[in-house]
Amino acid sequence: EPTNHLDLESLVWFQEYLRNYPGAILMISHDREFLNQLVGSIVEISQAKLHRYRGNYDKYVVEKAAREEQHLAAYKNQQKEIASLQQFA
């Protein structure tokens, strides 16, 4: 956890350092505010696939929930179609 033992001054310095870092950063943190301040995109690994979300952590949570709802709706429609086709078989 990168921010657990930092005082406010150190935390501000660390955030500024990361914000100005020219490369990519793999960040693992439970500090939602820290993530919201720094990230511009999130890559999630789920069911052996990569999913990229643009925006901060809060936006990721909303977009992930919407994607999961879409997948569930598509699955339910698929199951209805299968049941309908099996009636004619």
Q: Is 6 exposed, middle or buried, given 0-12, 13-18 or 19+ CB atoms closer than 10 A?
A: middle
In this predicted model, what pLDDT tens digit does every residue of 24-75 receive, in sequence order? 899 888 889 999 999 999 999 998 999 999 999 999 999 999 999 999 999 9
Average the pLDDT over 71-84 and give the result. Answer: 96
Which conformational region is residue 69 in: left (phi greater than 0), alpha (psi within -120 to 50 degrees), or beta?
alpha
Q: Which domains does the chain have, with CATH numbers?
A: 8-88 (3.40.50.300)
Q: What is the pLDDT of residue 74?
A: 97
